[in-house]
Amino acid sequence: MTSISKIVVRYAETDQMGIAHHSNYPVWYEVARTNLIKRIGMTYSEMEQMGVMTPLVELQCRYNGVARYEDELLVEACVEQLTPARVKFRYQIFRSGEETPINTGYTLHAWVDAQTFRPISMKKRFPELYQKIQASIET
Amino acid sequence: MTSISKIVVRYAETDQMGIAHHSNYPVWYEVARTNLIKRIGMTYSEMEQMGVMTPLVELQCRYNGVARYEDELLVEACVEQLTPARVKFRYQIFRSGEETPINTGYTLHAWVDAQTFRPISMKKRFPELYQKIQASIET
Amino acid sequence: MTSISKIVVRYAETDQMGIAHHSNYPVWYEVARTNLIKRIGMTYSEMEQMGVMTPLVELQCRYNGVARYEDELLVEACVEQLTPARVKFRYQIFRSGEETPINTGYTLHAWVDAQTFRPISMKKRFPELYQKIQASIET
Amino acid sequence: MTSISKIVVRYAETDQMGIAHHSNYPVWYEVARTNLIKRIGMTYSEMEQMGVMTPLVELQCRYNGVARYEDELLVEACVEQLTPARVKFRYQIFRSGEETPINTGYTLHAWVDAQTFRPISMKKRFPELYQKIQASIET
């Protein structure tokens, strides 16, 4: 399962090079991740209320092109890997109508307890949600 | 009492006009407010741990000049008004070495309970801190 | 003429109070302003290419409620006042489905030359666009 | 040569997990990079005025710990690799007084012409600056 999220580059996201600043891409990944999780069958807000959080462990972005103010972007997100302790998402960002992504990347997250910030086994604690996420991975 | 905080404009804070984007000024105000509260005698983190939060009720900024990447700015903050329900801070931002502020503004905050987000009487709940803040106001 | 822009609160926009940080509201105003200008008949990018920029002179926000992660917001924007030297926009932000705005505010902008950052008379320099903006003001 | 930059976590940089949002780390890297370039012998502003820009090609962050509001962080930056077409910086972020970094990462940048955004040979165009950067690499 891949979610596709539309982003329009905000003025505040540009920098003095005249392009969207690179620190916005992880924020756009997050918007896409939110939509993907919702499509899988739960909002991330609900996940947090259930007591699970997913802080970042690793982030990688490759910038192949630039995005400018008012550009319409499509951000694709999918789950690439799932283990009881971690989940890895992969992203591609396209300028609307183009076939080559201007940006690709991944984020790796830990499953932690919302109170203690300690690692949890997602598989044991929320087997049903774990199952759904697993099922979303394309083979 | 007035706190003075040094800010150096970050690249990520610029926009395609080549100046610091206007949405950064409230963030810089907040840095200055953090330093002021610390000088008054408590960190804002401690205040939150004591169960009090201060969400914004009103914000005003006047932009008289511009700030550019790598500019060194001095942000002055002081408490202008205090009531049991609210606190108002005033700010002036100068480019280092200049006498006319490039920006002036204020923020008005409510005192609320950290759990319920309901208004509290700061004067009754934390009389000692209230007293210290009151004493910081210049007459 | 009033533009209505949909915003979904991003995780990165929340703060440790668990609400959208107040510095995001000016950014959302800007998204709404971009859409309004487009509806009036020109993109802001085109305006900048024509050599005109509109830096902020004044910003005011009133926060009557809070916005949380994944909340859907509607941002209304309209031109309130236009002079050859300045333009004032007014905003209202609603949580989707609600009738009382959680935030209201305005921004006042100067018309300046993109190269020199000097004030220009919008009326003289771009009479046609000036006319269109004037016509958008509701009476 | 390694530059060390002090960052104090801003309230606006926190998210509803109660920690600094992961998208701030690339911004802090940039602050450190600015200071490093200045120590090498030129401000980044001067570089841009000379007609050279350094957009990101790749970003990687590893998050080993968390940073919280008001935490004092030290960001170390150094040049790891330099070629005529590219430059790679490496970063380590420590909480003040600690020996294990909470975050490590790198950024890879292209040397491009500020007008055309086309790749340039830094070595040919600015041999003196190239030499200085080269000399800053520790062996």
Q: pLDDT tens digits, chain D, 139 residues: what are they?
A: 999 999 999 999 999 999 999 999 999 999 999 999 999 999 999 999 999 999 999 999 999 999 999 999 999 999 999 999 999 999 999 999 999 999 999 999 999 999 999 999 999 999 999 999 999 998 7
Helices (H), chain D: 24-40, 44-49, 122-125, 127-136
pLDDT tens track for C17-42: 999 999 999 999 999 999 999 999 99
Which pTM value belongs to this model? 0.97
What is the structure's pLDDT at D56?
A: 97
Q: What angle do CA D94, D99, D105 make, to 5 degrees?
A: 45
Q: Return the partners of chain A (3 or more C-beta pairs < 8 Å).
A: B, C, D
Of A47-51, A87-91, C67-71, minimum mean pLDDT range: A47-51
Domain range list for chain B: 3-136
**Do C58 and B53 lie within an 8 Å CB cutoff?**
no
Indicate the residue of C11, C31, C45 with minimum beta-carbon distance to A30: C11
C69 and chain A in contact, CB less than 8 A: yes
Six token digits for residue C60: 């005011």
* Residue C64 token pair: 């009557």
Per-residue pLDDT tens for B73-132? 999 999 999 999 999 999 999 999 999 999 999 999 999 999 999 999 999 999 999 999
Overall average pLDDT of the C63-80 stretch: 97
Record: contact C17-B62, CB cut-off 8 A: no
Burial of D97 (0-12, 13-18, 19+ CB in 10 A): exposed
* Residues of D catalogued as catalytic: 15
Minimal C-alpha gap between B15 and chain D (Å): 14
User: How do residues B20-29 score in pLDDT, each as one tens digit?
Assistant: 999 999 999 9
Report whether pLDDT(A65) > 80: yes
A82 pLDDT tier (thresholds 50, 70, 90): very high
Measured CA to CA, the distance from residue B53 to residue B40 in angstroms comes to: 17
pLDDT at res. A28 = 98
| Whether domain B3-136 has CATH 3.10.129.10 | yes
